[in-house]
């Protein structure tokens, strides 16, 4: 029997969930407070990243974070504040930043990313819609021997997990990126990764889903969720009431606030990132990360995107020019011939990434609500993990065996 499903959140996770649910014959409704044209799903680096198997909460990050906390232009900035949810999250983050927990997470994140990459390829090969997708890998550029050694240690771990990884000299890099002047010592090259142009995919997906009868409600904020007999009876927006057999919570950084209405506590903090588009030739053809600065560089359709920073400072969309300029300065340090103009930094966009304390997403049905499935907390891997998440949420709702074991992602897990 086909089910009716209300999805709260129209970002990449929500759309991919709708994609697989409608394929199962479900009647799907998506509601979002935005107009389906902005947010993290539109301004991210567009990476599909098996290379990103190290969770944000990793050994040593606390010490780095304390140092970076004093620098508002640093790659990872945590704004200290006397907020109970933040303090609980920070404590759980500290507990998660252990070698044993990271070791358990690594193979899971590799498998999750590879599975998602294959599902993107399936979408690309289908006749459903067309979008920009390339698999050129990812270059981790470094300027110092110390960072080069750190990146190569991660690279060697990637090899152990079955990924193809090479350590390249600066001259090796110049052979595969001949039209770019780089000031680097070398790079670690992950051949496993792909990249896309997020806005193109999102527009394609929305058009396809509408053509298949998926209902979209834009600029509608969920103000209440009513429960009867441990099940959601209705989702109340500022304009109407929505009912469904099942509800999916894919509201990104807003998921924690909405879950609280159901008595469900999922530790989550918004991690703000920024992106700058350069709509002129740069010569860049292979995605890269400027390792010391933690800046992502992606050649997209018609432009190059420079994205970066992780700012844990609550839910807001304020553009901090100090952090935007830090991205532009970092680009100049690695690409001496490339100047990002003020007009380009003035047009910078921001997006909020939902960060769990242990770097693993929340996927599954919480014990307190029988017809709710949570799908959030993907941090910087939301774009990469979206198809696999959507597919598995669809399987959960259809009472099918999931493509991966998902116990470790359960929203009820303790920290």
* Cβ(403)–Cβ(391) below 8 Å: yes
Residue 415 inside a domain? The answer is no
**Taken in order 233, 237, 242, 245, is the CA torsion positive or negative?**
negative
User: Tens digit of pLDDT for each residue in 135-145?
Assistant: 999 999 999 99
The CATH number that applies at residue 142 is 3.50.50.60
**Paired strand residues for 250:** none
DSSP string, 6-30: EEE--SHHHHHHHHHHHHTT-EEEE
Q: What integer pLDDT is reported at residue 97 of this predicted model? A: 84
Number of domains into which the chain is organized = 1
> Which residue range forms the structural domain that includes residue 32?
4-409
Q: What integer pLDDT is reported at residue 101 of this predicted model? A: 87
Sheet holding 215-217, edge to edge: 215-217, 27-31, 4-8, 246-249, 372-376, 362-364
Residue 110 inside a domain? The answer is yes
* pLDDT surpassing 60 at residue 79: yes
Please name the residue ranges forming H helices in 335-375.
342-346
**Alpha-carbon gap, residue 61 to 81, rounded angstroms:** 19
Residue 95 inside a domain? The answer is yes
Average pLDDT of the chain is 94
Which of 220-234, 311-325, 330-344 has the least mean pLDDT?
A: 311-325
pTM reported for the whole predicted model = 0.95
Rounded mean pLDDT of 278-305? Answer: 97
* pLDDT surpassing 80 at residue 309: yes
DSSP single-letter state for residue 286 = S
DSSP string, 37-93: S-SHHHHS--EE-TT--S-SS-TTHHHHHHHHTT-TTSSEEE-----HHHHHHHHHH
Encoded tokens for 144? 């110092």
Reported confidence tier of residue 351, pLDDT bands at 50, 70, 90: very high
**Alpha-carbon gap, residue 54 to 158, rounded angstroms:** 10
Encoded tokens for 210? 């509408």
Residue 414 inside a domain? The answer is no
User: Tens digit of pLDDT for each residue in 102-113?
Assistant: 899 999 999 999
Residue 122 inside a domain? The answer is yes
**Alpha-carbon gap, residue 13 to 406, rounded angstroms:** 16
**Alpha-carbon gap, residue 46 to 297, rounded angstroms:** 10
Of 222, 292, 273, nearest in space to 250 by CA: 222
Q: What integer pLDDT is reported at residue 189 of this predicted model? A: 98
**Alpha-carbon gap, residue 242 to 264, rounded angstroms:** 20
Q: What integer pLDDT is reported at residue 133 of this predicted model? A: 95
Reported confidence tier of residue 65, pLDDT bands at 50, 70, 90: low
Q: What integer pLDDT is reported at residue 313 of this predicted model? A: 82
Rounded mean pLDDT of 83-101? Answer: 88
* pLDDT surpassing 70 at residue 64: no
User: Tens digit of pLDDT for each residue in 4-54?
Assistant: 999 999 999 999 999 999 999 999 999 999 999 999 999 999 999 999 998
Residue 238 inside a domain? The answer is yes
Distance between terminal CA atoms of the chain?
37
Residue 379 inside a domain? The answer is yes
Q: What integer pLDDT is reported at residue 257 of this predicted model? A: 95
> CA-CA distances (angstroms) from residue 315 to 207, 257, 325, 386?
29, 11, 21, 22
Q: What integer pLDDT is reported at residue 1 of this predicted model? A: 66
* pLDDT surpassing 60 at residue 175: yes
* pLDDT surpassing 90 at residue 61: no
Question: Which three-class secondary structure string do you get for 82-104?
Answer: CCHHHHHHHHHHHHHCCHHHHHH
* Cβ(10)–Cβ(225) below 8 Å: no
Other CB atoms closer than 10 Å to residue 161's CB: what's the count? 17
């Amino acid at each position: 029997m086909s089910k009716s499903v209300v999805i709260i959140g129209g970002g990449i996770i929500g759309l991919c969930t709708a994609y697989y649910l409608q394929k199962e014959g479900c009647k799907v409704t998506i509601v979002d407070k935005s107009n389906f044209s902005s947010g993290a799903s539109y301004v991210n680096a567009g990476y599909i990243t098996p290379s990103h198997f190290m969770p944000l909460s990793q050994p040593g990050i606390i010490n780095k974070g304390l140092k970076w906390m004093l620098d508002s232009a640093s790659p990872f900035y945590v704004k200290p504040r006397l907020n109970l949810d933040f303090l609980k999250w920070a404590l759980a983050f500290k507990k998660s930043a252990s070698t044993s927990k990271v070791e358990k997470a690594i193979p899971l994140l590799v498998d999750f990313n590879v599975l998602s990459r294959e599902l993107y390829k399936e979408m690309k090969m289908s006749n459903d819609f067309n979008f920009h997708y390339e698999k050129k890998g990812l270059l981790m550029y470094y300027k110092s021997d110390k960072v080069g050694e750190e990146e190569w240690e991660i690279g060697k771990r990637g090899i152990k997990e079955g990924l193809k990884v090479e350590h390249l000299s600066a001259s090796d890099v110049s052979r595969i990126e001949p039209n770019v002047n780089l000031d680097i010592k070398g790079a670690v090259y992950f051949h496993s990764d792909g990249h896309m142009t997020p806005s193109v995919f999102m527009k394609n997906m929305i058009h396809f889903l509408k053509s298949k009868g998926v209902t979209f409600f834009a600029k509608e904020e969920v103000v209440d969720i009513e429960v009867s007999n441990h099940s959601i009876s209705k989702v109340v927006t500022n304009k109407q009431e929505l009912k469904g057999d099942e509800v999916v919570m894919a509201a990104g950084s807003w998921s924690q606030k909405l879950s609280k209405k159901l008595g469900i506590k999922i530790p989550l903090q918004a991690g703000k990132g920024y992106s700058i588009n350069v709509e002129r030739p740069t010569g860049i053809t292979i995605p890269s990360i400027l390792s010391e600065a933690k800046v992502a560089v992606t050649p997209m359709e018609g432009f190059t995107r420079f994205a970066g920073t992780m700012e844990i400072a609550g839910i807001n969309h304020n553009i901090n020019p100090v952090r935007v300029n830090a991205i532009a300065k970092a680009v100049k340090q690695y690409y001496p011939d490339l100047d990002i103009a003020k007009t380009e930094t003035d047009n910078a966009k921001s997006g909020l990434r939902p960060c769990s304390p242990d770097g693993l997403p929340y996927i599954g049905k919480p014990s307190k609500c029988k017809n709710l499935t949570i799908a959030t907390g993907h941090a910087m891997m939301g774009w990469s993990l979206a198809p696999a998440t959507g597919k598995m949420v669809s399987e959960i709702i259809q009472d099918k065996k999931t493509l991966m074991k998902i116990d470790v992602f359960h929203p009820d897990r303790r920290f």
